[in-house]
Amino acid sequence: MLAKRIIPCLDVDRGRVVKGKKFEGIKDVDDPVRLAKRYSDEGADELVFYDITASSDERDIFIDTVREISHNITIPFTVGGGVKSVEDFRKLLLAGADKISVNSQAVRRPELIREAAEIFGSQCVVISIDAKRNDRNSWDVYVKGGRENTGLDAIDWAVMAQQLGAGEVCINSIDEDGVKGGFDLKLIKRLSEVLSIPIIASGGAGKMEHFLDVFNAGADAGLAASIFHYNEIPITGLKEYLFENDIPVRR
């Protein structure tokens, strides 16, 4: 069985790592380069960098920050935020990213997924989905940093992204984001039933047991932010706990 991955996430706004709850109440946390190096040194499996206002502000990602982070870490590095074209993929990969995450622009123009996969390979293309529960017992896809409901069904969109060539899906539960009450296990189980590509679960991690639950629900990786930023859960301790509970991890 493939090892499950622990992935810290850097939500970056105007050059600083920030964190909120349910995409609101954003607070300053730290310098992204310093945090990135810390996570690399502490044994994180990968790192994700999201420029959270690039799409809503309709600007390019802060590529100098991406480049500096890549020079200070030794783990795979996914970058997203404001990615609009194959050329944006190229620029970020040349700046040191290993994988590129797309969200808003892929919803607007799904062919971007296919184009990028054909040029750079599916392993490089991560479709990021911000999902929120609706009153129909399903989840809607939101874009522009969780500001705009597209009306798309999150499960259907994930399946389409896989068909277009995405190599991975990062599913973020807006309802659980920053709440620390646990991942949306129902959402993860539903996705695991219909997808064959890896699933990164995001939104809701508050204690070690939440990672155990989400891996047992079908996730391939667990992504979190504030619990790692504020040293509430040490990555080495989390991996040891998972290993003791029969979850394969890199130690």
- How far, CA to CA in Å, does 75 sit from each of 48, 72, 99, 166? 10, 10, 12, 21
Which pLDDT value is given to residue 199? 98
* CATH number (domain holding residue 125): 3.20.20.70
Say yes or no to pLDDT of 51 above 60: yes
Structural domain span for residue 112: 5-244
Looking at the domain assignment, is residue 251 inside a domain? no
The CA distance from 136 to 213, in Å, is 25
Looking at the domain assignment, is residue 49 inside a domain? yes
Looking at the domain assignment, is residue 60 inside a domain? yes
Say yes or no to pLDDT of 28 above 60: no
Q: Band of the pLDDT at 172, cuts 50, 70, 90?
A: very high
Q: Would you please indicate which residues are annotated as catalytic (active-site) residues?
A: 11, 130
Helices (H) and strands (E) in the chain, counts: 10, 12
Looking at the domain assignment, is residue 250 inside a domain? no
Q: Band of the pLDDT at 14, cuts 50, 70, 90?
A: low
Q: 206: how many CB neighbours lie within 10 A of its CB?
A: 18
Q: Band of the pLDDT at 100, cuts 50, 70, 90?
A: very high
Which pLDDT value is given to residue 63? 84
pLDDT tens figures, 208-219: 999 999 999 999
Which pLDDT value is given to residue 90? 97
Looking at the domain assignment, is residue 10 inside a domain? yes
pLDDT tens figures, 136-158: 999 999 988 788 999 999 999 99
User: Hey, what's the torsion of the CAs at 234, 239, 240, 243, to 10 degrees?
Assistant: 160
Looking at the domain assignment, is residue 249 inside a domain? no
Ramachandran angles phi, psi of 69, nearest 5°: -60, -45
Domain count, the chain: 1
Long-range contacts of 64-68 (CB under 8 A, 24+ apart): 65/12, 65/15, 65/32, 65/33, 66/92, 66/95, 66/96, 66/97, 67/95, 67/96, 68/33
Query: pTM, whole model, 2 decimals?
Result: 0.92
Looking at the domain assignment, is residue 36 inside a domain? yes
Segment holding 121, helix H or strand E: none
Which pLDDT value is given to residue 198? 98
Looking at the domain assignment, is residue 211 inside a domain? yes
Bigger pLDDT: 11 vs 44: 44
Say yes or no to pLDDT of 229 above 80: yes
Which tokens in the block code for residue 63?
Answer: 């590529």
Instruction: Look over the chain and give the mean of its residue pLDDT values, rounded to a whole number.
Output: 91
Say yes or no to pLDDT of 56 above 70: no
The CA distance from 69 to 43, in Å, is 16
Which pLDDT value is given to residue 73? 97
- How far, CA to CA in Å, does 26 sit from each of 8, 177, 208? 18, 12, 24
Say yes or no to pLDDT of 22 above 80: no
